[in-house]
Structure 1
Amino acid sequence: MPTLIFTPRYTDDSQALWKAAGALGWQVQRLTNWWVPEHLQNLEQAVLYGEALFGPTLAEQLGIRLLSPPEDWLVRLPMEYKHRQISMQNLGQARQLTTPAFIKPPNDKSFPAEVYTGASLPLEYDDDMLVLVSEVVQWEKEFRCFILQRQLVTYSLYSRFGDVQRETEFASTMDEDNALKTFMHTLLADERVDLPDACVIDAGMLTGGTWACVEQNAAWGAGIYGCDPARVLEVLRHASIGI
């Protein structure tokens, strides 16, 4: 039986997953600090859920490997699934940009993902740090999609024009759901799209009506918004690999 491991940070998502795991008969443990106690090391099946910055360190202590997207995944994604120019640069190169670009660290939240000019990028990071540099676009709506073995397991609208939809309980219409499923079916069936067994894909509709992929995220560190917690656990179970 899996043991679901949470970091010390309490969130609505971790509480929802805790309840779902209990209903499924899973063991659940929350760490009291950023160190894995001996009795939780090398469990038969540990499943980690927590912050991206601490995940790899905790995974090493738990004796597991976490599935995460390649840093250049969006760069290599075929244009028909992203509909904008995206490149991988180091911060030294990005700091030379004079026109605004959407800039973010590839797989963590070292600094906020925002529109920057080169001069406005944070100074406390080394010039050799890699970042994704994207053409600026506007998203009308964005969905979080938990993916297992190239199948859409559960999804949730999370944003409209950049506003998180918590007050509407992440509600979406049937037409929006069907449009998302059509786009995701095409993307997931395309062998050119490299995917781990378990991951999260954010997809949405650009202003003007075109559907595109926002980004890929590691499932073990992704917020669940209005997704079905029990189905999220199916994905998390495959995102922590015993070693």
Structure 2
Amino acid sequence: MPTLLLTPRYTDDAQALWRAAIELGWDVERITCWDVPAHLLEVEEPVFYLEALMAPLLAEQFQRRLLEPPIDWLPKLPEPYRQRSIRLSTLEQARQIETAAFIKPPNDKSFPARVYTGSELPNGYPDETPVLISEIVQWEKEFRCFILNRTLKTFSVYLHEGVLQRDNHFAHSPEEEAALVEFVGEILADETIDLPQAAVVDVGVICDRSWAVVEQNAAWGAGIYGCDPTQVLEVLRHAAVSA
């Protein structure tokens, strides 16, 4: 039987997954310290939904490796799927940039992803810290997609014109759904695009351009917004592999 493993934070997403897991007959446990209790290490099928800070250490104690996208996944994505220029660099090199660009860590949230000039980048990080430097674009709307074995399992709009869609209950139109399914289907059918077994791919529409990939995220820590929590759990079952 799967056991959903959560951290102590009672977020809306964690609570939604907790309720869905209980309905499926799963066990649910919260890990409240850095050292996992011995009895939890013996569970038959650990399923992780964790915060980035704790995740690697906790998974290691279960002898599991969490699936994450390579840091150069987005820059290597074919341009028709990106619809903008993106390159992998280092914080040291990014500090030399005089014109503004959208700069972010590739996979974590160690500093805020936003528009910076080189002199505006935060201090206190090693020069070799990898960063993605992107052309500045405006997104009309953005969607989160949970993917398992190159199949779209569930999705949700999360931003429209930069505004979180929680107050709109993450609602989308049939036309938006049809366009999203078509675009994501093209990505999943393209065998040149590397994806882990369980992944989260954010997509959206760039103003005055077209549908494009925003980024790929690790499934085990991604917010679920209005996604079906039962389908999210099925993806999470495959978001870690034996170390």
Scaled to the shorter chain, the TM-score interval is: over 0.9
AA at the equivalent of 1:100: A
d(CA) in 1 for partners of 2:227 and 2:48?
18
> Could you tell me which residue of structure 2 aligns to residue 6 of structure 1?
6
Aligned length: 243
Q: Give 3-state SS (helix, strand or coil) of 2:144's partner.
A: strand
What residue ranges of structure 2 are gaps of 5+ in the alignment?
none
CA-CA distance at 1:124 after TM superposition: 0.8
> Could you tell me which residue of structure 2 aligns to residue 213 of structure 1?
213
Ranges of 4+ aligned residues in structure 1 off by more than 4 Å: none
Contact 1:53–1:109 under 8 Å retained in 2: no
d(CA) in 1 for partners of 2:197 and 2:36?
26
> Could you tell me which residue of structure 1 aligns to residue 62 of structure 2?
62
CA-CA distance at 1:8 after TM superposition: 1.3
Contact 1:43–1:62 under 8 Å retained in 2: no
Contact 1:46–1:64 under 8 Å retained in 2: no
The normalised TM-score by structure 1 is 0.98
Contact 1:143–1:156 under 8 Å retained in 2: yes
AA at the equivalent of 2:7: T
Q: Give 3-state SS (helix, strand or coil) of 2:141's partner.
A: strand
Alignment of 1:1-243 (within 5 A): 1-243=1-243
Per-residue Cα deviation, 1:83-105 (whole angstroms, up to 9, x for no partner): 11111111000000011111111
d(CA) in 2 for partners of 1:120 and 1:62?
40
CA-CA distance at 1:225 after TM superposition: 0.1
CA-CA distance at 1:34 after TM superposition: 3.1
Contact 2:89–2:132 under 8 Å retained in 1: yes
Q: Give 3-state SS (helix, strand or coil) of 2:32's partner.
A: coil
Contact 2:83–2:209 under 8 Å retained in 1: no
d(CA) in 2 for partners of 1:72 and 1:35?
32
d(CA) in 1 for partners of 2:79 and 2:88?
15
Contact 1:90–1:128 under 8 Å retained in 2: yes
What residue ranges of structure 1 are gaps of 5+ in the alignment?
none
Q: Taking every aligned residue pair, what percent have the same amino acid on both sides?
A: 60
The normalised TM-score by structure 2 is 0.98
